[in-house]
A and B are shown apart, each in its own frame.
Chain A
């Protein structure tokens, strides 16, 4: 999701749609036996659409590109990358 935002070639709808594909692709696993002394990672499997939407909202709230660059993503490298693929961006 962050990559798609960074490369700036996709709409929110496309990003969220792609993000939520795992939900259908992952096979349902049996519930593990409850252990009060452990975190149940199965609670975090799958990729509900609602989480994709909420995560995108959270990132948009921070200001997509602005947030990514503020945390240390290399703006110059991303710009150079986009320049190398400029023909792709010009076509679309």
Chain B
């Protein structure tokens, strides 16, 4: 049944967030699925913050895929319904850096005085940072796909369940069931990944 609520969920616009948009390709007949994407919702205008709060009131949720290191300083405008903001980071340092380390050449390791972590942790870490920066977004995506499969599946399951309007008690463990008031009809996927 078409309701004002469903119209609202499908037509959310946040002007202060430049790349906020529907997450699925908008073909001639877009899927009736209110999933959006954004690089960040940290610095919304007052109007957009109100619009987002209304969205959350209508049953929407925010899934934040960033880890703590990627987040901005404290947000200026924060929706009040924080129980509808789910933090589901996809990047874990304890998995990321061993993966990057495994891709270093012997020469690169020797330059850092292998075993670098013991002799010069700072120099070693810097080497890993530069290696990831050099590999860029593709290396980051590849590493996430290879090291965060469980988390990726959990996020996708959360979205499918949310769109279904599943109530909190019906969600399997790890899919948002510990979040009170979780009965989502729409979703915002916050930046897969950092866009």
Contacts and interface: CB of A to CB of B under 8 A. Distances in A.
Nearest to A13: B25
B51 interface: no
Contacts of A4: 23-25
For the side of the interface on A, what is the size category? 35 or more
Contacts of A38: 129
B83 to A, nearest CB: 23
A14 B163 CA distance: 22
B39 A22 contact: yes
Nearest to B132: A39
Contacts of A18: 24-26
Contact of A44 (B21, B137, B154): B137
The DSSP consensus for interface residues of chain A is: helix
Indicate the member of A36, A37, A39, A54 with the most B CB atoms within 10 Å: A39
B29 A40 contact: no
A26 B20 CA distance: 10
Contacts of B189: 3
For the side of the interface on B, what is the size category? 35 or more
Interface string B68-112: 011000000000000000000000000000000000000000000
B137 A2 contact: no
Contacts of A3: 23-24, 35, 156, 159, 189, 192
Contacts of B150: 71-72
A1 B150 CA distance: 17
B129 A73 contact: no
Interface of B: 18-19, 21, 23-27, 29, 31-33, 35, 39, 69-70, 122, 125-126, 129, 132-133, 136-138, 140-142, 145, 149-150, 152-154, 156-157, 159-161, 163-164, 189, 192, 194-195
